[in-house]
Chains A and B, each alone.
Chain A
Amino acid sequence: MSQQVEVRLFGAFRQYSRDAAIAVTLPESATVTNLREAFADALEDDNARALLKASAFATDEAVLDEDDSVPEHGRISILPPVCGG
């Protein structure tokens, strides 16, 4: 079984896709590490892959750790380094 996960794009990631999200396919019970690898494969730009290394995945509730499971339901976002204010 595999699952389709839509990753919402924010900040500098927005320049790498016409859409506000990139969809990736993951195995069932995937971790954030699996998600990071699949997302990197989906990116076509070396600068985007470099940005990914400094970026975090998050749900609407919290930033995820690399060992966390990817929620089967719920929205996932990729958060590049932040700079509010």
Chain B
Amino acid sequence: MSTHVKTTDQPLSAEAALEFCSAPGHGAADLFIGRVRDLNQGREVEGVSYDLHSVLCERVFAEICAEAREEWGEPLHIWLEHRHGRLGVGEASVIAAVSSPHRDESFRACRYLIEQMKHRAPIWKQEHYVDGDSEWVQGHALCQHG
């Protein structure tokens, strides 16, 4: 078992994720790459700036990975990285990867990582549009007060 979580302002590496998510007894590896796309809700996007709370973010990443391991097994190798700073269209903002003895655990755990990350990790994005405007994207509230 092995877990890697990180936030960084440097380009993400799918090759590094797959190299980490590898073991002689692992017959499956699942890789998810989230990339900046050029259109959102009808507006042409030329880039996205990601802001994050790095310390808390890595804690939340570690919690999510521990939950995945609890659900789908100790042998999992788990990788979760998110980039911050300004990214252009096509650049990778997040990479999640999981390897396991059989494919079902890898598929399910990788999907869990990305869905939980989007709802729980303290990360925010500001879209920059081709027309020169910029807007912070609406998200999921972390608070539970009335």
The reply to whether chain A is a binding partner of chain B is yes
Cα separation A81 to B124 with both chains bound (whole Å): 8
Interface residues on A, range: 20 to 34
Please tell me if the beta carbons of B94 and A55 are within 8 angstroms of each other in the complex: no
Cα separation A84 to B115 with both chains bound (whole Å): 10
Q: Does B138 contact A (CB under 8 A)?
A: yes
Q: Does A12 contact B (CB under 8 A)?
A: yes
Cα separation A77 to B54 with both chains bound (whole Å): 12
Residues of chain B with a CB closer than 8 A to A15's CB: 136
Interface residues on B, range: 20 to 34
Binary interface encoding of chain A residues 5-28 relative to chain B, with 1 for a CB under 8 A from any of its CBs, else 0: 000101110110000000000000
Q: Does A79 contact B (CB under 8 A)?
A: yes
Cα separation A63 to B55 with both chains bound (whole Å): 12
Q: Does B51 contact A (CB under 8 A)?
A: yes
Q: Does A56 contact B (CB under 8 A)?
A: yes
Question: Given contacts A10-B51, A12-B136, A56-B141, is CB(A83)–CB(B125) below 8 Å?
Answer: yes
Q: Does A44 contact B (CB under 8 A)?
A: no
Cα separation A14 to B93 with both chains bound (whole Å): 21
Among A10, A80, A83, find the residue whose CB has the most chain B CB atoms closer than 10 A: A83
Number of residue pairs spanning A and B whose beta carbons lie under 8 angstroms apart: 94
Q: Does B82 contact A (CB under 8 A)?
A: yes
Question: Given contacts A11-B51, A77-B53, A85-B118, is CB(A56)–CB(B142) below 8 Å?
Answer: yes
Q: Does A41 contact B (CB under 8 A)?
A: no
Name the CB-closest residue of A to B61.
Answer: A84
Binary interface encoding of chain B residues 102-125 relative to chain A, with 1 for a CB under 8 A from any of its CBs, else 0: 000000000000100111111111
Task: Beyond A62-B59, A84-B94, A85-B114, list 19 extra A-B contacts (CB 8 Å).
Answer: A11-B136, A11-B139, A12-B124, A33-B145, A54-B141, A55-B141, A56-B142, A63-B142, A80-B124, A81-B139, A82-B119, A82-B120, A82-B121, A82-B123, A82-B140, A83-B118, A83-B124, A83-B140, A84-B125
- On A, residues with C-beta under 8 Å from B are 8, 10-12, 14-15, 33, 36, 54-56, 58-63, 65-66, 77, 79-85
